[in-house]
Amino acid sequence: MIDIPEQRPNHSAGNGTTSAAVCQADNDRRTFFARISIALSGLIAAVIGIPAVSYVLAPIFRRPPREWRPVGKVEEFVIGETVLVEFEDPSPLPWAGVTADTGAWIRREDAATFVVFSINCRHLGCPVRWVAGAELFMCPCHGGVYYKDGEVAAGPPPQPLAKYQWRVQNGQVEIQTGPVPLMYAST
């Protein structure tokens, strides 16, 4: 076996002697730069991580507002007819403009009963249209089809059309608005 001598760092003070002060300064510098690297890494992780975590947790802590919006007088709705009604989104931003307007499909079933469907397809949120002759809701984006009761007839939608809660107040039909009901469970 060959004996290899252990190599040690050569810290010389210029005159051939080892200086403990120079060795200590080297260690202090390494420690300083290691701490700076750790601090900068932590800062970068916080800058990247805080927005990502808040994005994931925001739906848990922020509940969108729900408001009752009038959509028309009771006598304006014909029994058995499905019509489009428009209303303002419950949480419009000041600069939203026409994008704050949305709609719903409402049908008067009998003298005292209404059914109100979201205008948005449950697949990807495209607005569905009512085809009166076929009594179907059709989604133009990916071919989703719903029966008049909102159940899926064909295509990619995973769930029936979402329904809005409704009530009659002082002769006005009102619907309880909320976030766009794409994949949200609703009754």
pLDDT in tens, 41-70: 999 998 988 888 887 877 666 666 778 888
Cα separation of 63 and 53, whole Å? 17
pTM: 0.61
C-alpha separations of 183 from 156, 157, 163, 165 in Å: 13, 10, 12, 17
8 Å CB contact between 96 and 89 = yes
**Domains in the chain: boundaries:** 10-62, 67-177
pLDDT in tens, 93-146: 677 667 777 889 999 998 889 999 988 888 888 889 999 889 999 998 888 899
Looking at domain 67-177, its CATH class is: mainly beta
pLDDT in tens, 135-185: 999 998 888 899 999 899 898 888 899 898 999 999 899 988 876 655 444
